[in-house]
Amino acid sequence: MTRTISYLILAVLCAFAIFPLVWMIATSLKPYADVYSFPPHYIPEHWSLGFYRQVTQETPFFSYMANSAIVAGSATVFSVLFGAMAGWSLARARFRGREIALYAVLLAYLLPQILIVIPFFGLLAKVGLANSYTGLILAYTTLNFPFSTWLLTDYFRSIPREIEEQGQIDGAHNISIFFRLVLPLATPGLAVAAIFAFISSWNEFLYALIILGNGEKQVLTVGLYNFVGGENAQWGPMMAATTLTMIPTLLLFLAVQRRLVGGLTAGAVKS
């Protein structure tokens, strides 16, 4: 009886979480008149790809997607690489204040973005990186680096130290040990950090709007904002564009889901 109630509660929560996604996709497949019909039709009575044609043919949607792929992909690589270096150092090195440094990194991740976006933009403007992909990549790397460091520190602690000691016995230096021995063993943790960093960068709006503005270099999240103007919102094209925007992150998640589970449970069992 208790299990049945638990399953019912989980089913209700899942339906509640999935409903906005279903509504978004259904709206993107409706004709224009059905989007504003009342009472609303939860399942389209007439299916149409008109909004998708409008988004892909009448707007620079694919340019926005390419810009987002460049920025999010670059930020993911840098944040995971630097996070892995910092995480390995915090996991293996012995120095005074190591735990304080680790909690300080986590605290930096918890700071609200709105508190630092303006000072960060002012800093980028002074060094000539405002309104550039380099500035936005640097911003996303800074935002994702703390979480990557915190996650990978615990993962590196779960890797037997004897493997690294064997490398030292064989004469390998620390850089070689890190890239040839440690990173291949940390693939599940790296996959988790990468997918979180990519999704965070792909979906981020505030920094992209302020650093890049609303010009030709804008990314997908800012491009979606263009469908809201004045007193009216173009709900149909916005839902179609949002559905297309979701596809890359979904494919990435499906590609790394096995490693994702392993990475999320890393460190849960102590040997």
CA dihedral 186, 149, 159, 270 (to 10 degrees): -120
Q: Are 186 and 155 in contact (CB under 8 A)?
A: yes
Which string of b and e fits 195-211 if b means at least 16 CB within 10 Å? Answer: bbbbbbbbebeebbbbb
Higher pLDDT, 122 or 232: 122
AA identity, residue 26? A
Segment 190-215, tens digit of pLDDT:
888 898 899 999 999 889 988 887 66
- Which of 163, 160, 175, 211 lies closest to 81, judged by CA? 175
AA identity, residue 50? G
Segment 109-118, tens digit of pLDDT:
777 778 888 8
In whole angstroms, give the CA distance from residue 173 to residue 32: 64
CA dihedral 146, 149, 154, 160 (to 10 degrees): 180
Is the model's pTM score more than 0.95? no
Position 140 scores a pLDDT of 93
Options 2.30.30.110, 1.20.1290.10, 1.10.3720.10, 3.90.550.10; CATH for 51-264 is 1.10.3720.10
Position 155 scores a pLDDT of 84
Position 77 scores a pLDDT of 94
Both tokens assigned to 168: 């030292």
Q: What is the mean pLDDT of the chain?
A: 83
Give the pLDDT mean for 15-29: 87
Domain locations in the chain as residue ranges: 1-48, 51-264
Position 151 scores a pLDDT of 86
Sign of the CA dihedral 257, 259, 264, 270?
positive
Q: Please name the helix (run of DSSP H) or strand (run of DSSP E) that holds residue 226, with its range, or none.
A: none
Query: 228-229 and 232-233 as β-strands: parallel, antiparallel, unpaired?
Result: antiparallel
